[in-house]
Chains A and B, each alone.
Chain A
């Protein structure tokens, strides 16, 4: 059992990680560049892994350490590599992406969602169950909602997909705080699902780009035959 001082330090570092996680999630809504979005997603995954390591040390479970390592391998190393590899033109050369809402409006919406998440989480946290829940549950919930918002307001395939991945990240972030003893097999299988998802979406986007020359899924409301002369 670590002494009380170490516990307090671990908890405050976890709280800091949570704060940065929230900040990065806000960044995902507001950033314009695809490459920047990808970098923010990587940062978010690193923060998730950090929180997993800290909570693993706090609760003495090696499960969470494994979760952190799996997260680092799949989301920090493989996912960006695959996306850069498959969608080189999209990620590296396109700088500006369009949005359904303008960025200040989207940010204010994200803020409202974050406050909602805190309000929703407070009765659950009041039930007790460890100090880490007070950080991880509301922030994970906020990230889940904001990730959904990102997926809704983005019109391009890659940032939209990154919004979905951010939702997955956030649910993990809440999960490691609520259920540190979750069966490892569930976590590992989710992580591999994410990898397969990355491959499928990457290939799909590439095929889309080859056929219609753009990945703006927001523009895909009319059939191409209709527009042909």
Chain B
């Protein structure tokens, strides 16, 4: 193998110093083997560049990114929930009697009753109000379209029901009352 063989590619790429490049150039003029090698290196370099260009032109493969089905499913579920739950669950303003259902709180927050002024450092025992959950009136009202409960045609169109839900002390549903 020629002594200059290891510098041929760097010479092609103009990465040698001026002095080195001149020496390689002189040698290449005289060495047919090095000229042949340079021709091969240039050919393969061009082919590599052409291969890269073709890789960019190749159309993307069919198929969606992996996250598309997940996002689409989540969006579909969210849309369904919006469509079906929106007419069923409507916020109903709480009636005033709900405020009356908690007498201990009502007494403490009644307007017009000024709290007694006490000097500092006087600690009195605070009486904790006993919450009577069982006396509480239903605090949740859900409007349900009649067609969601009864078969089609059984109830005139447009009639809604209001479901009053009473919740027991343990959090379970105590009673459900439907009112047209």
Tell me, yes or no, whether A binds B. Answer: no
Residues on A lying within 8 angstroms of B by beta carbon are none
Residues on B lying within 8 angstroms of A by beta carbon are none
